[in-house]
Structure 1
Amino acid sequence: MGWFIILIMALLVFASLWHFARLEKGPLQFVAAALLLALAGYAWQGRPNLEGAPRRMEVAEKQPDSPFMALRREMFGQFDSADRWLILSENYRRSGKTQDGAAIIRSALRAHPRNVTLWIGYGDALVAHGGGTLTPAAEFAFLRAAALAPKHPGPSLFYGIALAQSGDFVRAEQQWRRALALAPANASWRAELVRQLGMIDRARAAGQIR
């Protein structure tokens, strides 16, 4: 069908120029050569079987900062071996490239397999890549961090956040109470954690959580 249309259009152009413009033989031959050249180009690159709808470009959706991204330097410091890897990962993540963000931390863990911050960051990145779902791989990362630093509140705090995002408020409460017990008295996030636990208590009293 595409070839038929293009041939008809070429003949119409040629006939119109010959009838109305009354071109002489030389210019008319030039026009014919141009039309043939256009047809040759269409034969080479034309794809009439493709749909006419324009292709929609897939744009990665930008991601907001997670609680881990906001608090990690306060909880774990800035000048450790994990910081530069996490900065790079977070830049990818903010632009919507969550898979690349997680892959960067996975590469860092090969060189630093006992780094607690990287394990928490990896779990957090996997949750983001899963659209807020706590996948088995993300859960493993949080549990690995907890095993490496059992006296640090960070693993339990962020594991609890991931559980809450997935709708598991019972286990989230368990992790948050553990984090609260380990938290410094002056921690900036302590008041928010107490508020979240209070919301869980009220939901349980209302019969919304068992």
Structure 2
Amino acid sequence: MSWILAIGLALMSFVAMIFLFHLPRMVWSAILAALMLGLAGYAFQGHPNERGYPSPYRDIAPEDGWALVEARKEVIGEAHQSANNHMLVADALMRKGQYANAAAVLERLVQDNPNDVEGWVALGNALVEQAEGHLTPAAIVSFEHAQKVDPENLAPAFFIGATHLRQGELIEGRKTWAQALEKASEKTWWRNELQMRLDRLDELLKRLADMPEGGTE
């Protein structure tokens, strides 16, 4: 059972990297090789029979925080980026992987500026990362606030859908993105980019559906 879980997590990571960062096909093989190397390391050093305990605080690699901040800025759009000084502090903490501290700063930001759409999106992201990639009720509330502030902005729906993909919930992630696109006007910022990711997700789902039982062609 532990091996099934490990392989499943590796596949979910592969899917998440493709759709979140829009990686070209030429690097797919390198990513798969890295994941296979990780599985090999698990086989050598893993202890699946030992009891696991959740970590009360997650201080992960800074590279993850950097990518998340840059992705948010791209999806939110320059016209909707926050001018609040708290955002600068929160982004610095996010880049260091200090998500709990970033969330605390962002909570102050949205309390002072409840109409700051990027502040709400950033808070949702920080809460997701603080919960080790899980879409918690608090994160959902943050994304919903962002959507209420700016119904046309695709950032809240994009990150909710992306979180579903990270958790292996491909159908739920697709549903979130598709509904957002249905409501968005043709001139909505980042609409074409989200449509492109949805098309690639549909292609992946079709390939999975066409695979014969047993997972081999």
Larger gyration radius, structure 1 or structure 2: 1
Q: For 1:119-130, what aligned pairs fall within 5 Å after superposition? A: 119-130=120-131
- Count of aligned pairs between the two proteins: 151
Give the letter for the 1:109 counterpart.
Answer: V
- Which piece of structure 1 moves more, 62-71 or 126-135? 62-71
Say if 1:102 and 1:84 are closer, same or farther in 2 by CA, change over 3 A.
same
1:96 to 2:101 alignment: no
Give the letter for the 2:199 counterpart.
Answer: V
Q: Secondary structure, in 3 states, of the residue corresponding to 1:151?
A: coil
User: Residues of 2 paired with 1:195 and 1:66: CA distance?
Assistant: 24
Deviation at 1:119, TM superposition (A): 1.0
Give the letter for the 2:70 counterpart.
Answer: A
Say if 1:116 and 1:170 are closer, same or farther in 2 by CA, change over 3 A.
same
Say if 1:201 and 1:153 are closer, same or farther in 2 by CA, change over 3 A.
farther
> Equivalent residue for 1:196?
201
Say if 1:163 and 1:71 are closer, same or farther in 2 by CA, change over 3 A.
same
User: Residues of 1 paired with 2:132 and 2:200: CA distance?
Assistant: 25
Q: Is the 8 A contact 2:82 2:118 kept in 1?
A: no
Structure ranking higher on relative contact order (CA contacts 8 Å, 6+ apart):
2
User: Residues of 1 paired with 2:58 and 2:167: CA distance?
Assistant: 25
Deviation at 1:143, TM superposition (A): 1.8
Gaps of 5+ in 1: 1-57
Q: Secondary structure, in 3 states, of the residue corresponding to 2:134?
A: coil
Q: Is the 8 A contact 2:160 2:173 kept in 1?
A: yes
Deviations 1:45-98 (A, max 9, x none): xxxxxxxxxxxxx99432414765223333331684456433321221222311
1:160 to 2:151 alignment: no
In percent, how many aligned pairs have the same letter? Answer: 23
Q: Is the 8 A contact 2:65 2:97 kept in 1?
A: no
Gaps of 5+ in 2: 1-56
Deviation at 1:131, TM superposition (A): 0.8
Say if 1:66 and 1:171 are closer, same or farther in 2 by CA, change over 3 A.
farther
Say if 1:167 and 1:195 are closer, same or farther in 2 by CA, change over 3 A.
same
User: Residues of 1 paired with 2:198 and 2:87: CA distance?
Assistant: 24
Instruction: Please report the TM-score for the alignment, with normalisation by the length of structure 1.
Output: 0.59
RMSD: 3.2
> Equivalent residue for 1:143?
144
> Equivalent residue for 2:5?
none
Give the letter for the 1:122 counterpart.
Answer: L
User: Residues of 1 paired with 2:151 and 2:193: CA distance?
Assistant: 21
Instruction: Please report the TM-score for the alignment, with normalisation by the length of structure 2.
Output: 0.57
1:72 to 2:77 alignment: no
> Equivalent residue for 2:60?
61
> Equivalent residue for 1:7?
none
Give the letter for the 2:69 counterpart.
Answer: M
Deviations 1:115-144 (A, max 9, x none): 221111111110111111111111111122
Deviation at 1:102, TM superposition (A): 0.9
- Which piece of structure 1 moves more, 105-114 or 165-174? 165-174
> Equivalent residue for 1:169?
170
